Each structure stands twice: as C-alpha cells, then as structure tokens.
Amino acid sequence: MPTAAWGATAPDSGIAPLTIERRALRDEDVAIAITHCGVCHSDLHTARNDWGRTNYPVVPGHEITGVVQAVGAGVTKFAPGDRVAVGTVIDSCRHCDACTHGDEQYCSVGNTGTYNGKDRIDGSPTQGGYSAAIVVAEPYVLRVPDGLDMAAAAPLLCAGATTWSPLRHFKVGPGTRVAVIGLGGLGHLGVKFAKALGAHVTMITGSPGKVADAQKLGADAVLLSSDKAAMRAASRSFDFVLDTVPVRHDVAPYLYLLDRNGTLCIVGMIDMMPELHTGLLLGGRRAVTGSGVAGIPETQEMLDFCAAHDVLPEIEVIRMDEINHAFERMERADVKYRFVIDMATLPPA
Ligand SMILES: [Zn+2]
Ligand SMILES: [Zn+2]
C-alpha cells in the first residue's frame, strides 16, 4: 500500500515528503491510521546519521497514536476503530528470556526498531510514524485507554516509557526520596510520574529560570546544581536519582546526593562517561545503572496509569511541514516539553 510519509534521504536532506510502501496484512497484523506522532531526539539523530547507522530513506517517529483501520485474520485483541499506540519496538525474537518476561526492548537477539530497523520476515526496512499509516504485529500494539488525549498521549510511547520503566523497576513509591536531573521531554515526565507514584520529588536543574516550571509540574523541591552550598546540604538525601541529561556529563556531583543503597539511573546520556572515583560507589553501596525504554506490558501499564491518574506530557502540537523548524528548536531546548505532529496536516500521497 503506497503511504504518504515525511522522511530523510540523506544526512543533510532535512525531512521532506516521500511515499513509502506499507505491507499487505499478515494474519497477526494491525493496520493503523496514524493521528499523532511525537518528536523524539532519536528522530533527529537518525535523520542526520549522527550515530552512523542510518539507512536512507528513513521515516522517523516512534511515539505513535492512531486508530485501527483493519486487522489480519488472526488478530483477537483489536478491531477497526480502536484507539491504539505504537512505541519504539515493533517486533523481537519472542522466545528469549527478556522477551518472555516482557522486556522486549532488551531482546537478546536484538529487537526490531519502529524505524531504521529490518522486518524479521521479509527484511524490508521499517519506517516510522511521520506517515499516514503503519502496519504492526498485534503483540506490539498498545491500547490507548478511553479519556487519554491522542495528541498528548503520543510522547508517552518513548519519553514516557523511558522514565516510567526505571521508576517501576526500582520500586519508587510513597516514602521514596527521588531527584530528577534535567527538565526536558524526559525529565518533566519523570517528575510527573514520580509524584503520581507517591514519592517526594526534587527537580535538579542547572538554570534558575526553570525553578518555577519545575514547581508547576509538581516538584516538591528544586535544587540548583550550580549552587554549591545547596548541593552540599542535599548530600545523602535521596534514594533514587533519575538522570535525564542527554549529553555527556560527570555524574559524581549527583552520587554525593545518594543515601546508603541509593541508585542513580541514567536514561538520557549515551556516551562515554568521564572518569568516576569508585570511592563514591563503595561509600554507601551506591549504584550507577541505566535503563532503555520499556517493554510492552510495562508500556501498557503506564498508559493505563496515566489515564487513571490524569498524568499527561506537556506538548506543543505542530504541522507536518513544521518538522524541520521543530528539530532546530529541539536542539536549542526551545520546547515545553515535547513536539507532537498532527498527522491530519500530512498531505495525501
Ligand atoms: Zn525516542
Ligand atoms: Zn527476544
């Protein structure tokens, strides 16, 4: 099926209209008319080949919400008209220990990315949500609960999953003292989720200009990382630190903030880490770990939680033809806090 999309054809092409093929439905497939797609930093990096492994043309987008158009003969959980969502992973081996425990994102054979991946059956390149429609196997389709706004729900599929999973894995809840570093697409959801889970939440930011924003999002306290005295006073006062800073940085100043048995979890930085003195880990049995998106069951749990607790990302809805400008603004961190493309603005193929 020829399908209208916007994608990149070279590192410097920008995002422009193109037509892609969506496959005819296999038995387990769900065809989805995309209504909205969030704009993730990975979209920008992949479009520009910043990670050196982009296959062109590539259609980015892995924060997808939409409506079921048609289903294959073997589909039992979805029917035309259902409100659904697709995140960063659209297939995996389905047999390994990770897959059978709902950690499809950590599939030991390698998961199939929503874009810039390869279909496990016919080897065709996978293309993402900057398009009119997508075809996804039933086990990798999420349900959008009634009452969740389709535009605002979109960023939950990557930014949301990325912050939700570690909070759940490390059992953040009432009584947990949580700090969230970095107030962007990930950080603002980290604050909202941790707060809704019942934790005491401190936002750590480098810019005094963000203090009011953090309070508006529900943070109980704000700690300025540039304020040496305040950082010293906060020493050993957190159980869990969610580090959403997307660029290379030293985590040592934040390890001082962890109490005994505390954990710092990196979800933003994918880079070499500056040298770290291990005394910071030994002194208090502190741990540094990382976490990548969420599995299918956990992502569904997050969507259901968001509907039940009325937690949603802060978004700015854009037209499809504003995407290149949106990328530029993202690079300047000039967005509160996630762009979402309204797919009704996508011209037909
Ligand atoms: Zn993403
Ligand atoms: Zn697997």
Q: What is the DSSP string of 122-167?
A: T-PBP--SSBSEEEEEGGGPEE--TT--HHHHGGGGTHHHHHHHHH
Smallest-distance ligand from the CA of 293: 1
How many A from CA of 121 to the centre of ligand 2? 15
How many A from CA of 113 to the centre of ligand 2? 13
- Residues around the ion ligand 2 (C-beta < 5 A): 92-93, 96, 99, 107
Q: Single out the residue of 193, 165, 28 nearest to residue 103, CA to CA.
A: 165
Smallest-distance ligand from the CA of 98: 2
How many A from CA of 156 to the centre of ligand 1? 10
Give the 3-state secondary structure of residue 225.
coil
Q: What is the DSSP string of 185-197?
A: HHHHHHHHHHHHT
Element (DSSP H or E) covering residue 309: helix 296-309
How many A from CA of 93 to the centre of ligand 2? 4
How many A from CA of 228 to the centre of ligand 1? 33
How many A from CA of 88 to the centre of ligand 1? 7
Pseudo-torsion of CA 61, 67, 70, 76, nearest 10°? Answer: 100
Its pTM stands at 0.96
CB 55 within 8 A of CB 34: no
Quick one: DSSP state of residue 344? G
Separation CA 316–CA 252 (nearest Å): 34
Separation CA 299–CA 161 (nearest Å): 6
pLDDT, one tens digit for every residue, the chain (349 residues):
999 999 999 999 999 999 999 999 999 999 999 999 999 999 999 999 999 999 999 999 999 999 999 999 999 999 999 999 999 999 999 999 999 999 999 999 999 999 999 999 999 999 999 999 999 999 999 999 999 999 999 999 999 999 999 999 999 999 999 999 999 999 999 999 999 999 999 999 998 989 999 999 999 999 999 999 999 999 999 999 999 998 899 999 999 999 999 999 999 988 898 899 999 999 999 999 999 999 999 999 999 999 999 999 999 999 999 999 999 999 998 999 999 999 999 987 6
What sign for the dihedral angle of Cα 135, 136, 137, 138? negative
Pseudo-torsion of CA 10, 15, 19, 24, nearest 10°? Answer: 90
Q: Single out the residue of 274, 275, 239, 243 nearest to residue 257, CA to CA.
A: 239
Q: Single out the residue of 57, 58, 61 nearest to residue 32, CA to CA.
A: 61
Separation CA 212–CA 187 (nearest Å): 15
10 Å CB burial of residue 281 (0-12, 13-18, 19+) is middle
pLDDT digits (tens, 9 = 90+) for 202-228: 999 998 989 999 999 999 999 999 999
pLDDT digits (tens, 9 = 90+) for 241-294: 999 998 899 999 999 999 999 999 999 988 898 899 999 999 999 999 999 999
Separation CA 224–CA 55 (nearest Å): 41
Q: Which residue has the tokens 């962007």?
A: 184
Across the chain, mean pLDDT equals 96
Strand 200-205 to 177-181 pairing = parallel
How many A from CA of 108 to the centre of ligand 2? 5
How many A from CA of 157 to the centre of ligand 1? 8
